[in-house]
Amino acid sequence: MVVAAAIALFVASVPAADTPPAAPAAPAAPAAPAKPLQKIIPGKVIVPGDTQMRRPWGEVISLDPATRTGKFRKDGTDEIFTFTAMPYAEMLHHAAFGDMRDFRVGERVIFRLHPNEAGEWTWLTYIQDEMNMMNGHKEYFHVDSIDAQKGQLTVTQANSDKSYIRSKDILLETDGQTRYWKEGEPAKFADIKVGDKLRTQTHGIGKGASRVCWEVFLDDASLLKFQAAQKAVHSKRMIEEGAPGYVDVAGDKIELTMFQESGEVSKTLKPGKKVRIAQAGVDRKAIGTPVLGTVTAAKAAGNLSKVSIMLDAPAPGLVVGGVMRLWVAQ
């Protein structure tokens, strides 16, 4: 029995004649190279994402349009941030494009921040107000309860049918400065009912996470009226102050990247169109006498536009990476 078992074990260990030898193990695939981190480069329109982006809510403490700098207090904390707005930073106010000058001290907004060369979170690529955020995400404050004596509303932030809920038990406060709007006309606190869907513009009180309403919109028509007014202000600025962008190539023939806020002007630029261009300073205001030129090419590049222009005369002030302003010649 012992001999038989030994023979069986030997036979089992011998491979069959038609069994090919085992193939050597394939070498492990090389690891994919790490994706380089996006970083802001002066003179380029870059909005780094992933770990290079933070979007805190905060209360505006100060804004200086001349230097494009400011400070804010992070929502619900005493932490103060200092920032420098990039020339192409989006200033989204009243659910439309605006400018740093449109925002008020105390206003609650979202700041999109990125690290500078020293790793400090100071580069800013947008300020978005509450109206813009809620309008863009199609969200509302659904009124759950009303304290008329205190002038307070407890609300749920969600989309129109509450199939998506962002946050519950939010306290909205009102005071003597609060304005109410319904069908685009002045209204009052008493017009608000449980179940209503509101949108607001709120401010802080210098501490904590208070939301005190400057504006309360009881319907979409009221917000859209404010939005239309802001769009008209922005259009007027683009006509009078010029549409901003970066100079990509300088010389007799220049190439430009028009910022997103310039879209209203950029979409009118076609080959043969006459334009005027001037260098701009840190405050993005035009410097010196504009130079005349002719558009030779224009195309959309995502939210931006790329434009080529043949100048009628040299423009030594236009330097690669510099900010310029452009007007459509009459």
- pLDDT tens readout for residues 190-233: 999 999 999 999 999 999 889 999 999 999 999 999 999 999 99
pLDDT at residue 20, as a whole number: 53
Q: Report the number of distinct structural domains present in the chain.
A: 2
In this structure, how many other beta carbons lie within 10 angstroms of the beta carbon of residue 30?
A: 6
180 and 306 part of one domain: no
The range of the structural domain enclosing residue 284 comes to 242-328
Last residue within a domain, chosen from 212, 237, 262: 237
157 and 228 part of one domain: yes
Q: Is position 8 within any domain? A: no
Last residue within a domain, chosen from 237, 270, 299: 237
Question: What Å distances lie between residue 20 and 10, 15, 27, 58, 125, CA to CA?
Answer: 19, 9, 20, 69, 63
**Which amino acid appears at position 161 of this protein?**
D
215 and 77 part of one domain: yes
Residue with tokens 């012992």: 2
- Strand residues in 116-162 grouped as ranges (E): 121-129, 139-147, 152-159
Last residue within a domain, chosen from 218, 237, 256: 237
Strands 139-147 and 197-203 turn out to be antiparallel
Q: Which long-range contacts link 263-269 to residues 24+ away (Cβ below 8 Å)?
A: 263/303, 263/305, 264/234, 264/235, 264/238, 265/238, 265/326, 265/328, 266/298, 266/300, 266/305, 266/307, 267/305, 268/328, 269/295, 269/298, 269/305, 269/307, 269/328
Q: Give Cβ neighbours of residue 327 (< 8 Å, ≥ 6 apart).
A: 239, 242, 243, 275, 276, 277, 290
What is the domain-level CATH number for residue 177? Answer: 2.40.50.320
Q: Is position 36 within any domain? A: no
Calpha distance 137→151 (Å, rounded): 27
Instruction: Enter the pTM of the model.
Output: 0.86
86 and 216 part of one domain: yes
Residue with tokens 């000058």: 101
- pLDDT tens readout for residues 68-126: 999 999 998 999 999 999 999 999 999 999 999 999 999 999 999 999 999 999 999 99
